[in-house]
Amino acid sequence: MAGNDQDEHQEHDEQHEHEHERTWMRFAGAEWDHSDPATIRVEIGDWQVVITGHNLESLFRAIENARLARLRAYPEFAEKLTRATP
């Protein structure tokens, strides 16, 4: 049975890798303008993803080199920022 678990894990890893590759196949480009250093715009297929934050250089390099594996949104951060902004 241990062999079956290992085979399933390997299949899952391969499936995840293929999904990651398909996403990057639809990657059209990324823009990080130094006049707005807190924003990165990424085009993947028909989607435009806008990423805002601080110290984005490493993130932009990962996007540019198709090395980014995952990015998560935290809407509560945006809500806190909106409430804190006069």
Query: What beta strand segments (E) does 1-86 contain?
Result: 27-31, 39-44, 47-52
Task: List all residues 6 or more positions away from 23 whose beta carbon is below 8 Å from its beta carbon.
Answer: 44
Buried b / exposed e over 15-54, threshold 16 CB at 10 Å, is eeeeeeeeeeeeeeebebeeeeeeebebebeeeeeebeee
Distance of CA 20 to the CA centre of its chain: 10
pLDDT number for residue 21:
62
pTM above the 0.85 mark? no
Residue 1 pLDDT: 47
Q: Which regions in the chain score pLDDT beneath 50?
A: 1-2
Tell me, what's the pLDDT at 56? 92
Residue 56's domain spans which residues?
2-84
Q: Retrieve residue 64's tokens.
A: 């540019």
How many domains does the chain divide into?
Answer: 1
